[in-house]
Amino acid sequence: MDNRPTWDEFFIAIAAAYSSRGTCDRLRTACILVKDKKIVGAGYNGSVAGLPICDEIGHLMIDDHCLRTLHGEDNAIANAVSSVQNATAYIICTPCLNCIKKLLQYGITRIVYVGEYQNAGGKDLIEDFCRQKRVALEQMFKDARDVYDIFSKKIFRRLQGPGGIFQNLTTPQLIGRSERNIMKTMKEGKLIIFEGGEKSGKSTQVERLAGYILGKGYQVFTTKEPGGGMHDLRKQIMDLDQNDPNLAEREIELFEKDREIHYREKILPLLMAGVVVVCDRGPATSIAYQGYARGMDLEKIRKANDNATFGRKADLTILLDLPPHEYLKRMGKDHESEVTRFEKEKLDFHEKVREGFLTEAKKDPEKWVIINAILSKEDLTHAIQKSVGEKLGL
């Protein structure tokens, strides 16, 4: 029969069903390991057995990642009932670099996934490692609706036929094809940028807002500046001479080059595809740091920003306002994070940065919202969600 699923469709459908057991609502994923058409391992993303799960107590966010869960690939390997050497991995959503390395180390020879490489960093390295190991890396589908069609057009329809478990069901709403999109889409996506001084909690709130928007049914992509376009930007910035009288100009040249690549290759294409983009820092950071704090001409920076972003402004900029004295308190408590050159600046520098952000925010109250970053993480999250709902209707 023509509605019988192929083996690849069959196993990717099983992976999709398995992902429904995932316990992290930032993204529910799964991995099925198959050898000789037999499942030898399976796993979904979830907490260590016996420990609290994200769905119950929230995410454990450190450096933009939820560290509460193990990935589906980790659990599939741990749960394997036999050797996975020469097996095929079927993965819901794009595998991350660490999981790819683990699959290669355990001898997986074919990797089949669905989704787009958006939030999974290191795509070039992933492809390079697979190529060197001669492992097939195959994107089965880009669109989740194609996976949905496996169920609606093949699996459910076949099971409605003779001998199928649903053969006596006649109500198509139960198992038939739904015409609605799995994800809500927009004609053009929304660009939300978080701004603020050091240690104001932007990274944590970016991830929380992304999870909230995803839960509303929208496609969402998180990113950050600087470094969204040039992977070695941090090193180039650190190599600058701190005593250079033209330090601000040197910094802005690198930041704008990075920003232009970031917008051209990531942000603008995603917005055109109807994706909500949530970015940690943006053009206003250059205005506050290199302009207000370092004294560079503001109009020159605005013009450079406009060129780098191709004129695309943020639909909403969320300023997490933190007084510098509170920043110093938080710096004193943080003994793990690497200190950046900007964090090493004196108090008056951070005062100027804060004043710069506040000045910019007050110029455009329709597109900016100022939120007190002294609030607890939970109160801050609720205030941000409320603002996004009021300003953008999300």
With beta carbons less than 8 A apart as the criterion, state whether 310 and 263 touch: yes
- The pLDDT tens digits for 100-127 are 999 999 999 999 999 865 544 577 888 8
The residue that leads in pLDDT, 214 or 345, is: 214
Taking CA atoms, 143 is separated from 112, 186, 260, 333, 381, in Å, by 14, 15, 28, 44, 30
- The pLDDT tens digits for 353-380 are 999 999 999 999 999 999 999 999 899 9
Q: Is the dihedral of CA 289, 293, 295, 297 positive or negative?
A: positive
Give the Cα separation of 48 and 263 in Å (integer). Answer: 38
> What's the pLDDT score for residue 174?
41
DSSP string, 54-106: HHHH---EETTEE-SEE-HHHHHHHT-SS--TT-EEEEESPPPHHHHHHHHHT
> What's the pLDDT score for residue 289?
93
> What's the pLDDT score for residue 355?
96
pTM of the model: 0.55
> What's the pLDDT score for residue 335?
42
Give the Cα separation of 207 and 210 in Å (integer). Answer: 5
> What's the pLDDT score for residue 172?
39
Give me the chain's average pLDDT, please: 85
- The pLDDT tens digits for 164-188 are 887 765 433 343 334 334 455 567 8
- The pLDDT tens digits for 264-301 are 989 998 898 888 999 999 999 999 999 999 999 999 99
